[in-house]
Structure formats: C-alpha cells, structure tokens
Amino acid sequence: MRNARHWLSAAVPVTAAFLSLYFAVSAAWIPLKAELAQWLMERSWRESLAGGMPRPPWPWADTSVAAELGVPAHDVSLLVLRGNSGRNLAFGPVLVDSTTGSQDIVINGHRDTHFRFLRELQIGDRLRLSDRDGDRWYAVGELEVVDSRRYEMIVDGTAERLSLVTCYPFDSPVAGGPLRYVVTAYPLREGASTKRR
C-alpha cells in the first residue's frame, strides 16, 4: 500500500509535466506550420512569377499560390492560396473560390495566425494585392464586426473591392463562433496599379 502511494505521488507530477509539454508543443505547432508553409509557398510563387506555371508549394499539395497580399505600413506580406478549405487555411490566407477572376475579391484567414494583423488596420491603410498580372492597390474603407448567422457576403461581379475576413473576437480562447471581422478596401486609382513585365 505504501509503495502504491509512493508511485502514485511520483506519477502525478510526471504526468502533469508531460501533458503540459504536449499541450505547449501542440499550441506551438500551428503557428510553426503556418510560417513554414509561407516559406515553401514563397519559393513556388517566385518560380511561377519567373515564367513558370503555378505549381504546388509542396509535392502533395492540391493548391497553389494565387496572389501576394502586402500591407506596407504594418510590415505584412502574405501569400494567398487557391481553394477556400479548412486544410488550406492552416497554411495561409485563402482566396474565396467564387471570387477567382472577379474584381470583388474575398480572402479568408485565421485570426490567430496570418490575419492577426487585421486588428491593427485603420481606415485609409493601404493594401497591395499582387498576382501574375501585376499589382493593385487598395485603401481600407470599412472595418466591421458581423454575425455570420445573419450576414451573407454577396459577391458582386461589378463591384471593385477587396474584403479580408476572419473570426472574431481576436482574443477568444475558442475557435470559430458566429462573429466575423470584415475589412473592406477599395481601389486606389492614380498611379496605384503597375503591370508585371
């Protein structure tokens, strides 16, 4: 009986330490995976801009880079993937499928990794979206929190805007939820677009 208590009293702190380490590594893995993916995506993006066809960032990927999103005032540069799926969202922001080839562009991203910078944006901040056709510049015009149960983002093929969407609130310990933070930016005109050579 004494030996059982001794082993039990030794096992509890060891188990607690192991679980703490496990949860710490698990929590660190998501941001680490997101950063590693951006590096691999950068390599494939540069190769495709140099004249190659868009290619997957890693051999088993079923996606490729659609564009690069830059926010110079906040030192942000992110590669945006094709295919609006949860799997792709783990690696970077994603272009909403129905907006591919449209002037009304919607990009989704996770609030705790790639799109955590959205909380810092202010009206008037400039955004750059670069693809194989060149650069387009936008200015933030609206910042709003919406309830996804009552709000439907309608893609309008005639509208020119860039919408960045993430879950809200930013500091919530629980992922998901019905609230979304939506940043809407509108095109800048004078000398703001440059064609890629």
Secondary structure of 12-64 as H, E, C letters = HHHHHHHHHHHHHHHHHHHHHHHHHHHHHHHHHHHHHHCCCCCCCCCCCCCCC
CA distance 83 to 87: 9
- Which amino acid, residue 26? S
Would residue 186 count as lying in a domain? yes
Domain that holds residue 186: 10-195
pLDDT digits (tens, 9 = 90+) for 130-162: 988 899 999 999 999 999 888 777 777 778 999
**Six token digits for residue 89:** 């969202």
pLDDT digits (tens, 9 = 90+) for 22-80: 555 555 666 777 777 778 888 888 888 887 777 788 788 888 899 999 999 999 999 99
Confidence of residue 86 (pLDDT cuts 50, 70, 90): confident
Would residue 5 count as lying in a domain? no
Residue 138's CATH number = 2.40.260.10
Tell me how many domains the chain contains: 1
Confidence of residue 14 (pLDDT cuts 50, 70, 90): low
Would residue 118 count as lying in a domain? yes
Contact between 189 and 153 (Cβ < 8 Å): no
Confidence of residue 195 (pLDDT cuts 50, 70, 90): very low
